[in-house]
Amino acid sequence: MGDHENEGDEIVYEGDEIEQHLVKKVRDAISKLVEQQNLMIKYFSFKDDFDHLLENIITRKTTQDAKVDWHIERRNNLYALNNLVTEWQIIIKNQKTLSHKEMYDCCKEIKKSMTKMKKEISGEESSSRGDHDGSVSHHQQPNHPIYERNKNQVYRWSSRHAPRKVLGLDNKILEMERDVVLQNVNDSFKVYGVVGVAGIGKTTLCQAFFRLNSVKQRFSPRIWVCLSKQEHGRQDYREEIVVRMLKCLGIDDQVIDNAAGKNDVCRLKRLILLLRLQLIGKRYLIVLDDAWNEDKSVTPFFSNLNQKEQMDENWGEELAYGLPKGRGGAVVSSSTSDALLKTMLGNDVSLQYLQPQTDEIISEIFKDAVTGYGEDAKELPQHLEDLKAKWLKKCDGIPLAAKLLATIARESSNIKA
């Protein structure tokens, strides 16, 4: 039997369990939204768009690019579609706090993303989105209207989605690919760390590495976890991190809750055991982005991730036990502290230190952040061109500083992003 068959007007999908779960999540979410008596949903109705995209994803069996595994690409697209549906849900939920213009801008972005996704699936356009997954990445961008409305409640966050354009990191990406993917391919387990000051591009480097075809072909599953705390996360931060990993693997909330059971001393152990069972026998990649060490009480939980897990009286209290060794898996982490990464990944871990970017790269980052790029690019106003050199001296080679200054420049010049 094939991947799908017709049953009335709805296609019954018969992919693997994770893909079936993702398809069901999209369909259920759309149905629940459409059932609501909400004028905004009726005005900004994406139901047909989502239905058509979902049908294209699950009925297509090949890709235009022979180098791309369509089974991998299909799952990535299902993750992406889930993200877009979730964003639509969040916009509707927050509509009372958003102006009509903000609502329109948010929905316009969803429509634009769906159009681009449709072109990529049909082969009209090559993919530039990077990878997609269950990570909560929507509405977390600093200039996003929803973020602006909720910025006091939103902590730093990252996802595996790389920027459309990555500047100044080509050699670093190749170096990372060489160390993690191409060299010592028979190693039973690998660790790698990225170190640098805040805003230097650690997350961007990891994102660009994460979406490489060689990485996709070498590792499965690939899990991206931001280690930043969230205000509404679980009370036990260690449990929160394990749950984020399980959700990236497509594990349903009910399954996670059932595995965790009642709130007792064994709750964390049961979650770590569930993670271990999901990863046994797999050559996985886990990226732990933005490791920090403000809370010394959780440091032991992340320690010695490179060591073979021990079945002793402390099993289940350290993340290392949930990461089976022996099948070529890898853990990559980023931090401002090399000492912390050595505690997490071992003293012999390969570390890549990021340095400030050149003036030329910072200038291009600033210009792109102000005017956009590709088909959306606009001309840089002359008065900003004149001020650019003065402003960029304040960046000190830090890409994030250039982007923040660009945001200020764009707003002061009334340039629409």
Residue found under tokens 């010695």: 304
Q: Identify the domain boundary among 336, 353, 370.
A: 353
In a domain, 31, yes or no: yes
Domain boundary among 333, 353, 373: 353
Q: Is 374 found in the same domain as 331?
A: no
Residue at 149 is within a domain: no
Position 376 scores a pLDDT of: 56
User: Which of 81, 77, 88 lies closest to 120, judged by CA?
Assistant: 77
- Whether 181 and 307 share a structural domain: yes
Do you find a cis peptide bond into 221, omega within 30 degrees of 0?
A: yes
| Longest Cα–Cα distance in the chain | 67
In a domain, 144, yes or no: no
Considering the domain architecture, whether residues 69 and 92 belong to the same structural domain is answered as yes
Per DSSP, the three-state class of 55 is helix
d(CA 70, CA 231): 38
The answer on 381 and 348 residing in a single domain is no
145 falls within a domain: no
Query: Per the structure block, which two tokens stand in for 114?
Result: 């769906």
Contact status, residue 209 vs residue 180, Cβ threshold 8 Å = yes
Q: What is the pLDDT of residue 330?
A: 96
275 and 219 belong to one structural domain: yes
CB 382 within 8 A of CB 370: no
Q: CATH number for the domain including 237?
A: 3.40.50.300
List the structure tokens of 201: 């591009």
Pairing of strands 350-353, 189-195: parallel
What are the φ and ψ backbone dihedral angles of 212, each rounded to 5 degrees?
-60, 140
pLDDT confidence of residue 141: 38
Domain end position, chosen among 337, 353, 369 = 353
pTM for the full predicted model: 0.63
Q: Is residue 162 part of a domain?
A: no
Distance CA 354, CA 205 (A): 9
**230 & 322 share domain:** yes
Q: How far apart are CA 104 and CA 98, in angstroms?
A: 10
Which residues lie below 8 Å from residue 240, measured CB to CB, with a gap of 6+?
229, 230, 233, 234
Domain-located, residue 236? yes
Same domain, 323 and 385: no
Question: Could you list the residue range(s) of the whole structural domain that residue 76 is in?
Answer: 4-138
Residues of the chain with pLDDT under 70: 1-18, 36-45, 61-72, 90, 94-99, 101-102, 124-162, 231-233, 262-264, 294-295, 310-314, 372-387, 410-417
Same domain, 250 and 232: yes
Amino acid identity at 85: V
Residues 18, 56, single domain; the answer is yes
| Residues 214 and 87 grouped into a single domain | no
| Same-domain check for residues 404 and 309 | no
* CA dihedral of residues 57, 61, 65, 70 (deg, nearest 10): 70
Q: Is residue 151 part of a domain?
A: no
Dihedral, 277, 240, 31, 148 alpha carbons, nearest 10: -150
> How many C-beta neighbours within 10 Å does residue 160 have?
26
Domain count, the chain: 3
Domain match, 200 and 292 both: yes
Residue type, 63: T
Query: Is the residue at 147 inside a domain?
Result: no
